[in-house]
Structure 1
């Protein structure tokens, strides 16, 4: 492409569209009062426009730019490997430890995430790896402390396009459907949209996220739950023959955002696509997990399109229809004015934000995701139930 044409395409691609309601910037939205209280307490300046939008010139326009954005390998030292298996420091300091279901989900009562020492953080990383998602209600959490905790677990994901909290160099993404709605996303009772579908975050990355931490500081009085499902348990639901067939196979995973082809920009937009193993091994537990999701897994490498479609549809249904391997969590804190945090392992789970509140009450959160290893399968690894000596029937 000529330089002149490339400049024209880039200029057109960065034009800001009109949005519903006549809003032309995020600053026209009203932050929830509980979010304002949190931000004002911790010196987050939202008065000059919130959230912060990445500089236009740094947002990838062409697909090759997006592919190169994070295309260099980096070392990952998972903190869960250094934890006491009995988690005495973490559990001993908590008022209560509640396992919410047999297979997934644990709530820790009486601890502040901002006050955990390194030993407790390591044990938390191990607990997340084992229980998939861990919850902390009644959190008084500075967004900077949330970022600090994420960095303890590893390199933090800084998305080139996602709206962010205006502190530091980025890394604290904003999860706020009112913002998406103001930008034109059509949300209603019949069209939940947004994150109201089963998905795993950023599976198109070369090194997708591991521990993800969402802190909700504005929560509906009723509803607004999130559901998680275990990839460990989903793998154990499969027959040994299907497990064997899938082991070693790869799938393609697409990005949410789409980009232009530099050589043919008029052909239309396309996502970043990468390949990862369908069955992956968790580096801390050593357990196998089924690593696919309806939102972003597009095909199985080496199969015909119709073959791939049939198999993937069945695998998606294993996650979505087996309620015994899911946990549904209501975010509401027990103390007014405080928030609730969920920390989950993105490598071994899917999640679904329930849209039953229909946006009639505010729901606002800040998210920090820690990037993990390149997905891999250790052929000598075991499933969760096999490793724990549980029945495989």
Structure 2
């Protein structure tokens, strides 16, 4: 990268220092702020180069929905509109907005949803259900409510062989809550909030994910920067009202590999001893954004992340169950503990989520019928997830994701754990 010289600043410009820095960061091609390490190479707007490597199945789905690909794909956010300073980023969606918990008043037996399916099968005891013979684009509002409740009870629900347009996917997201429009990530042209999930595109633009480094951040996310989405995480924990239901639809699926794994926060909480549960109940932690920004008061002090404070054990508004709300990528510290104590406790909690195979489900996306894709719809509150990059980009993998934001996190001391609520055995330690 070419060094930034003092003459890059306009001496005749009488604006403030932070205005000069912002202008420099937005216009200097060798500088990058608040985006991934490779994305400084990307121009603003629809990318003609991306269209050249777009999988045929993905292109067919987009074109069938009337998405304008004439200028390229995907659409890269306008660099002039990406926040540079921390206060700007913090102010995005920093006010309460009405949220309707669609699953709260749904039929507990889910008769409308289940009667339309040919098969409903739980993939593991604690997390993950697959619904067969039902098309997401045909759901009634009653079925959408019942699906929301099923997702919130089972963590993640899968649908194969889906003929689902991007617009229908976005419409479904709007039904479940305010759709998050990400200021940094590539989007489907003309569909704000329809985020593109496409590691192959990142690799074509300088991302350095390899077989050896893809998972390093799962050992220590503070030392090893995440490559792709392979680190255990929960999306958008820095939001004033963090993510609720997220829907990923893959329209290009590797023949083998590219799976995704989810882990249950309900079950992770119930893995803890009763004494440790009592210790954590009511505690709060600091959660940070994935992207970093400059502090206007200390612009040369290094990049800073948005921070929010939420309960480390949350109560779900639909199920009423307690769940463990931590993730290795974005949980910074527990309030009230020393840094050493906080790190010890958090690393143990991360391991509870990540290392207990009996509270996880691994989904193999394919195979799919020609012209069809697969969908995973999960509760970003009460689960963690990660991808598996074992196909190493040898087969194309492309999808679109829509995330609906939910409630302000809260803890109800009268709420029960999942096992308590369901009457399942709870081991008592001596």
Please state which band the TM-score falls in when normalised by the shorter chain.
Answer: over 0.9
The answer to whether the 8 A contact 1:202-1:208 is kept is: yes
Quote the offset at 1:122 in angstroms.
Answer: 0.6
Q: How does 1:183-202 map to 2 (within 5 A)?
A: 183-192=205-214, 193-202=227-236
User: Equivalent residue for 2:172?
Assistant: 149
1:177 paired to 2:195: no
Q: Residues of 1 paired with 2:289 and 2:265: CA distance?
A: 20
What is the aligned-residue RMSD (CA, Å)? 1.7
User: Equivalent residue for 2:321?
Assistant: 287
User: Equivalent residue for 1:122?
Assistant: 145
Q: 1:106 aligns with which of 119, 129, 132?
A: 129
Q: Residues of 1 paired with 2:386 and 2:230: CA distance?
A: 5
Q: Residues of 1 paired with 2:91 and 2:402: CA distance?
A: 22
Gaps of 5+ in 2: 1-13, 32-36, 215-226
Q: 1:11 aligns with which of 23, 31, 45?
A: 23
Moved more, 179-188 or 226-235: 179-188
Moved more, 307-316 or 155-164: 155-164
Quote the offset at 1:180 in angstroms.
Answer: 2.1
**3-state DSSP class of the match of 2:296?**
coil
Quote the offset at 1:10 in angstroms.
Answer: 1.1
The answer to whether the 8 A contact 1:23-1:182 is kept is: no
Q: Residues of 2 paired with 1:254 and 1:95: CA distance?
A: 42
Quote the offset at 1:17 in angstroms.
Answer: 4.2
Quote the offset at 1:334 in angstroms.
Answer: 3.8
Q: Residues of 2 paired with 1:273 and 1:37: CA distance?
A: 40
**3-state DSSP class of the match of 2:19?**
helix
The answer to whether the 8 A contact 1:232-1:290 is kept is: yes
Q: Which runs of 4+ in 1 moved over 3 A?
A: 15-20, 22-26
Q: 1:71 aligns with which of 77, 94, 98?
A: 94
Quote the offset at 1:98 in angstroms.
Answer: 1.0
Q: 2:80 aligns with which of 53, 57, 80?
A: 57
Q: Residues of 2 paired with 1:210 and 1:188: CA distance?
A: 31
CA deviations over 1:74-117 (Å, ceiling 9, x no partner): 12111101211111110001011010000000000011111000
Quote the offset at 1:47 in angstroms.
Answer: 2.8
Q: 1:138 aligns with which of 152, 161, 169?
A: 161
User: Equivalent residue for 1:261?
Assistant: 295
**3-state DSSP class of the match of 2:104?**
helix
Count, aligned residues: 391
Q: Residues of 1 paired with 2:73 and 2:15: CA distance?
A: 34
Quote the offset at 1:50 in angstroms.
Answer: 1.4
User: Equivalent residue for 2:355?
Assistant: 321
**3-state DSSP class of the match of 1:302?**
coil
Moved more, 175-184 or 375-384: 175-184
Gaps of 5+ in 1: none
User: Equivalent residue for 2:420?
Assistant: 386
